[in-house]
Structure 1
Amino acid sequence: MYLLWLGIVFYFLAFIFSLVYHFLSVFKRPTLFSLFLGWFFYMAYVIKMALDIGSFPFADTYGFYSLLGNGMLFFLLLISFKQEQLQKFLAFFSLMGILSTLLALPAEPSPYKSPLYSLHITSALFSYAFALLGGLFSLIKFMVEAKLKQKSLSGFFMPLNLLRRGERLFINLSFIFFTLTLIFGSLWSRSFFGQHWINDPKLIYVLFLWLYYAILVHLNLLQRIKPKTLSYGIIIGAFLVILNLLFIRHEL
């Protein structure tokens, strides 16, 4: 548990440093270093817990949200090194790390020891993360396009080509990992319940998301959808993922 608290402490330090950086334009490197240390200690806690129980470390929504938040934070930090405009939001990243890590405190360890279960949940984490990042890139793309129409380049700005490539990359990755989620889930269900499919609301919704992203990805690959319509579709997909995370629960 001390590793988890170390992660929270470094995320909190990053938040303090980020405020100094925002107002005085100093301490950017200490902020980034503290953020990565916070993420490092959090992941060390997760890996240690996984090794101790011999399976995926969490089995409830608290743990899943905690991993999802820290995972998305890591991707955003990596992207921020390529696009320094994102470093304007280091305070938000720090708060995201604090809240995501705090969610691990009440999380229950997983009772399932199957590697297939671990692969199923890990694939689901990546699919949700990439879907949400795709929606974020599409939203930013619309903001940048609006600025360009107004001929205003002040404030936050990212290259349109990067945003367009990013949103397409993220939906492709999301579709791939939704596919893996269903495959590993089916194999685990067969070994645990004796059948490849169970009528659980969460799994049915994931199947719906897989179909949605399959249509979106293939329309894009076949160039049968306009870029603006695709971006709207990606944002809707991210919204559907949020609905799944917040309101759909397993009944098993």
Structure 2
Amino acid sequence: MWQYFSYIAFTSIALWAVSAILIYARKGSLNTIAILMHALATLIIGAFITALWISLERPPLRTLAETRIWYTFFMGAIGLVVYRMYRQKWMLNYAALMATVFLLVTYFKPDTMNKTLMPALQSVWFIPHVIVYIFAYAMLGMATVVALYGLYQHKRPNRSAIAGIKYKPYAPEETVLIVDRLVNVGYAFLTFGLLFGALWAKEAWGHYWTWDPKETWAFISWLGYLVYIHYRYKYKDKEATTNFSIIIIAFILLMVCWFGVNYLPTASMSVHTYSG
């Protein structure tokens, strides 16, 4: 199936690109077509994952390229759900943009695909551990871009006021609420991923936790979002800019956990090197 990836990728990218344009059309019928095109592109990626699973005779979750395809699928799906909930068109387009970026990265930097699955990966915890983590990454990625938008909202009225332009931004409470909901869901899945990983480690290596580099950074990123949750709960009446800044820092830590840890000197000693 991997030989068809280029057709799948560029068909989905084309659908997302046209959808991104039509979603801003004034005609309601064109908006509907845009949403359907976005959904179709996402379903195509989902169908490819299913076909790849059947072709490889194993879950396509072993390499970074395979996890990027899952991330693409989840971003497309989350974009649809968030759009349906909040009617923010830019969120739909952001999801499509991130999905496109990850598809292109996978296209230009593919991994070797084979049916081999080392014994440690032949566990009942393999699939739930990786899938819930990738879904969490997608949710928290969306939360991060909304946080960036919140910082933009905070500064834009001030610039407009100086210019003498009347500007009514979206209610800051709405942006904070969206970020909260995305983080709460993403953090729940991040926690499940951490627990599933510990159970998997116990089964595969006899210990729940060994302070492996990947485990360490997973715990650090988990703590980053925990800091946000506690800060948000304790300082509800303070400006949301600090909340948004914590979210951005936590997401950077998350990206180090996902990608950056592979470039650390200690990565060569990691039991997670099979996922690179």
Q: TM-score, normalised by structure 1?
A: 0.80
1:97 to 84, 96, 99: 99
Select 1:45's aligned residue among 43, 48, 57: 48
User: Unaligned regions of 5+ residues in structure 1, if any?
Assistant: none
Q: 1:173 to 1:87 in 2, by over 3 A?
A: closer
Structure 1 residue 210: deviation in Å? 1.5
Q: Which secondary structure state, in structure 2, belongs to the residue aligned with residue 135 of structure 1?
A: helix
Structure 1 pair 232–8 and aligned structure 2 pair: CA distance change class (3 A):
same
Paired residues of 1:63 and 1:103 also in contact (CA < 8 A)? no
Q: Tell me the SS of whatever aligns to 1:196.
A: coil
Partners of 1:94 and 1:135 in 2: CA distance: 15
Partner of 2:185: 173
Retained in 1: the 8 A contact 2:71–2:138? Answer: yes
User: C-alpha distance in 2, partners of 1:87/1:174?
Assistant: 20
- Counterpart contact for 1:123–1:181, Cα < 8 Å: yes
Aligned to 2:260: 247
Match of 1:56 in 2: 59
Identity within the alignment, %:
16
Match of 1:144 in 2: 153
SS in 1 for 2:44: helix
Paired position in structure 1 for 2:17: 15
Distance in structure 2 (CA, Å) of the matches to 1:160 and 1:224 = 13
Is 1:231 the equivalent of 2:231?
Answer: no
1:147-191: CA deviation from partner (whole Å, max 9, x where unpaired) = 333355779x64422211111222222332222122110111111
Which letter maps to 1:167? V
After TM superposition, where is structure 1 displaced by more than 6 Å over at least 4 residues in a row?
Answer: none
Shift of 1:102: 4.9
Instruction: Give structure 2 stretches of 5+ with no counterpart.
Output: 272-276
Is 1:191 equivalent to 2:189 in the alignment? no
For the 8 Å contact 2:199–2:208, the answer to whether it is kept is yes
Q: How many residues align?
A: 249
- Asked if structure 1 preserves the Cα contact closer than 8 Å seen for 2:69 and 2:103, the reply is yes
**Distance in structure 1 (CA, Å) of the matches to 2:222 and 2:205:** 23
The residue number in structure 2 matching 1:117 is 126
**Aligned residues of 1:11 and 1:35 also touching (Cα < 8 A):** no
What corresponds to 1:211 in structure 2?
223
Q: Aligned in 2, Cα 1:11/1:136: closer, same or farther, shift over 3 Å?
A: same
CA distance in 1, matches of 2:237, 2:122: 43
For residue 81 of structure 2, what is the aligned residue in structure 1?
Answer: 78
Alignment CA distance shift 1:186-1:80 (3 Å)? same
Q: Which residue of 2 aligns with 1:160?
A: 172
Range 64-73 or range 231-240, more displaced: 64-73
Q: Residue 34 of structure 1 corresponds to which residue in structure 2?
A: 37
> What RMSD in Å do the two structures reach over aligned CA positions?
3.3
**Range that drifts further, 133-142 or 168-177:** 168-177
* In structure 1, distance between residues paired with 2:128 and 2:145: 26
Letter paired with 1:147: R
Secondary structure at 1:115's aligned position in 2?
coil
Distance 1:67 1:159, change over 3 A: farther
Separation (CA, whole Å) in 1 of partners of 2:104 and 2:256? 22
45, 52, 68: which one pairs with 1:65?
68
Assess, with a 3 A threshold, how the Cα gap between structure 1 residues 228 and 197 changes in structure 2: closer, same or farther: same
1:131 counterpart = 2:144: no
Task: Note closer, same or farther for the CA distance 1:153–1:194 as it changes in structure 2 (3 Å cut).
Answer: farther
Q: TM-score, normalised on structure 2?
A: 0.74
Partners of 2:68 and 2:102 within 8 A in 1 = yes
**Conserved in 2, the CA contact under 8 Å of 1:72 and 1:129?**
yes
